[in-house]
Amino acid sequence: MAKGIDVGTMNIISSQQEGSETVFVQQRNSFVEIEYSDMAEQMLSRSEVLHIRKGDTVYVVGDDALNFANIFNKETRRPMQDGILSRDESSAIPMIQLITEQVVGEPRYEDERLFFSSPADPVDSDYSTLYHEKTLESMLSDMGYDPEPINEGMAVIYSELADHNFTGLGISFGAGMTNICLAYYAVPVMKFSIARGGDWIDEQTAQATGTPVDKVTSIKEEDFALDFETDVGGVEGALAIYYENLINYVIENIEGEVDEEDIEEGMDVPVVVTGGTSMPDGFDDLFAEHLNEADLPFSISGVHSVDEPMYSVASGALVAARSEEDQQETTEETSEEPAETESEA
Ligand X SMILES: Nc1ncnc2c1ncn2[C@@H]1O[C@H](COP(=O)(O)OP(=O)(O)O)[C@@H](O)[C@H]1O
Q: Which one of ligand X, Mg ion, none interacts with residue 280, CB within 5 to 8 A by kind? A: ligand X
For 246-311, give the DSSP string: HHHHHHHHHHHH--GGGS-TTPEEEEEEESGGG-STTHHHHHHHHHHTS--SSEEEEEE--S-GGG
Nearer to ligand X among residue 179 and residue 253 (C-beta): 179
Least gap, CB of 197 to ligand X (angstroms): 6
* DSSP assignment letter at 163: G
The β-bridge partners of 184 are 187
Least gap, CB of 279 to ligand X (angstroms): 4
Query: Total residues at the site for ligand X (CB under 6 A)?
Result: 19
Is residue 174 a contact point for Mg ion (CB under 5 A)?
yes
Nearer to Mg ion among residue 83 and residue 168 (C-beta): 83
Q: Give the integer Cα–Cα distance in Å for 50 and 100.
A: 11
User: Among 3, 77, 220, 322, which residue interacts with ligand X (rule: CB under 6 A)?
Assistant: 220
Q: Which of residues 7-36 bind ligand X (CB under 6 A)?
A: 8-11
Nearer to Mg ion among residue 6 and residue 148 (C-beta): 6
Interface segment toward Mg ion; rule CB under 5 A; list 4-12, 29-37, 93-101, 281-289: 4-12
Q: Give the integer Cα–Cα distance in Å for 117 and 94.
A: 19
DSSP 3-state of 207: helix
Nearer to ligand X among residue 62 and residue 275 (C-beta): 275
Closest C-alpha among 226, 219, 201, 221 to residue 281: 226
Least gap, CB of 69 to Mg ion (angstroms): 22
Residues 6 or more apart whose Cβ sits within 8 Å of residue 269: 167, 168, 169, 182, 263, 298, 299, 300, 301
Query: Total residues at the site for Mg ion (CB under 5 A)?
Result: 4
Nearer to ligand X among residue 170 and residue 197 (C-beta): 197
